[in-house]
Amino acid sequence: MRPILLFLASATSVFSQSQATVSLSELSSSLETLAQRVRPSVVQIFSTGYASAEEGESTNAASLLSKQRSTGSGVILSEDGLILTNNHVVHNALKIEVKLHNANRGGRMPDSIVLAKLVGVDREADLAVIKIDRTGLATLALGDSSKLRQGQLVMAFGNPLGLEGSVTMGVISSTARQLKLDDPMTYVQTDAPINPGNSGGPLVDAEGRVVGINTFIFTQSGGSEGIGFAVPSNMARGSYEQIVKDGHVHRGQIGIVAQTITPALAKGLALPQDWGVIAADVTPDGPADKAGLKPGDIIVTLAGKEMEDARQLENLVYQQSLSAIVDVTVSRDGKPLRFSIPVIERDDDPQRFADMVNPEKNLIRRLGILAIEITDKLSEMLPELRHDYGIVVAARAADAPGAVLQPGDVIYEINKTPTVSIAALRAVLDSIKPGETAVLHVQRGAKLRYIAIDLE
């Protein structure tokens, strides 16, 4: 019987090898088809700007600023030329160029380079939207990153180290990797090789849907070591839609302080479970308070997602737009309750002033900022103001000489002259000759500081 058994084993082995060959061939063919479909919607981005001498290329050791050139990737999301990328790809750019794949030009012409303009950025999420003057472009759709699973097959597209049109393959290593305990941002982690130049390119699933925007890597060698991170597509979608609509991004909140339930909390508070999320505080007169939430409520679901810990809840709220109304279910004394809570603007959002400005009236050209005079409304938004006058920085240009200024800063003086109005600020600036220095007395947060700016 032994020879027969050996024969049967050999036959089974040959059959299995044949099946494996067919399966690998089918997989290879599917990946080829996917790459061909995705490739036309991935662009290479070239940006030129200025940075401090130690950051860029300097030909003059005495220069304060030097020219900086960088390259990255982006993904076309609309037929009329809206492209999503990373903020750090176009940060401080004075000129942005996009190289289109020839398949996005009918396939009969060589790749082309076109100028792009910056639509807006989300600095917290490291995202930016740029636009080119083209129509009828091939696009990709944003997928649902909440449905990603560890081990799922993905492909990363981009231009690593300037090598145009590259693609790598890997799996999802983690669906929600938080890198800092106090940072609400979470990332999709993948082992698909990502290198400098991949930034802003899409991470796609087997259906060709964008599930992440490749953003950065952990490395000791300077190259890919299989630890790459992408902004989840659900986060990217919220930022993209707000930027396209308003030119900037607002962060929201619902007025609760969430805390993860631990066994110690559960025991001390006699809770029915030793996991999940509890409302440790509800902001008086905030959205959650007005809806009916109370401290001590166990938050079961938010926006249809079961809550496992406070970090998950904070991340989910972080992704909501200001027009959203989220459904929240809680357990109170063992009874289920449901609330609909509007998302409102986060109190410390530095972009909250951007809707209040008119570029023609509020531009301070020599500082490269949009500014607002202190009003009663602004005083309510900035309760720690040292004076009842001042100029609030609402936004700044990427190439501003006062790039050290930040949205939310309050300017009280310029060269010892009180800035009681925009006109007063402009008058002092007009009196300062090119090459001279303006010293601003500024409040940032709760602290005062002097900021010196060399004016051109």
- Catalytic: 88? yes
Q: What's the distance, CA 43 to chain centroid? A: 19
Catalytic residue among 70, 73, 166, 199: 199
Angle at 109 between CA 107 and CA 113, to 5 degrees: 110
Q: Is 149 exposed, middle or buried, given 0-12, 13-18 or 19+ CB atoms closer than 10 A? A: exposed
Structure-block tokens of residue 198: 């991949």
Q: Report the candidate in 353, 335, 357, 336 with the shortest Cα–Cα distance to residue 345.
A: 353
Q: Is 238 within 8 Å of 319 (Cβ atoms)?
A: yes
Q: What is the largest CA-CA distance in the chain?
A: 105
Return d(Cα 409, Cα 405) in angstroms, integer. Answer: 7
Residues with Cβ within 8 Å of 138's Cβ and at least 6 positions away in sequence, in order, are: 40, 41, 76, 103, 104
Q: Could you give the CA distance from residue 282 to residue 293 in angstroms, rounded to a whole number?
A: 7
Q: Which residue from 208, 198, 124 is spatially nearest to 165, judged by alpha carbons?
A: 198
CA 37, CA 152: separation in Å to the nearest integer?
Answer: 20
Choose, from 41, 47, 70, 126, the residue flagged as catalytic: 126
Residue with tokens 């990427």: 398
- 389 DSSP β-pair partners: none
Q: Using an 8 Å Cβ cutoff, are 307 and 276 in contact? A: yes
- Which residue is catalytic, options 41, 73, 88, 224? 88
Decide if 126 is catalytic: yes
Residue 308 and residue 286 in contact, taking contact as beta carbons nearer than 8 Å: no
Burial code of 406-421, b = ≥16 C-beta within 10 A, e = fewer? bbbbbbbbbeeebbbe
Give me the active site residues, please.
Answer: 88, 126, 199
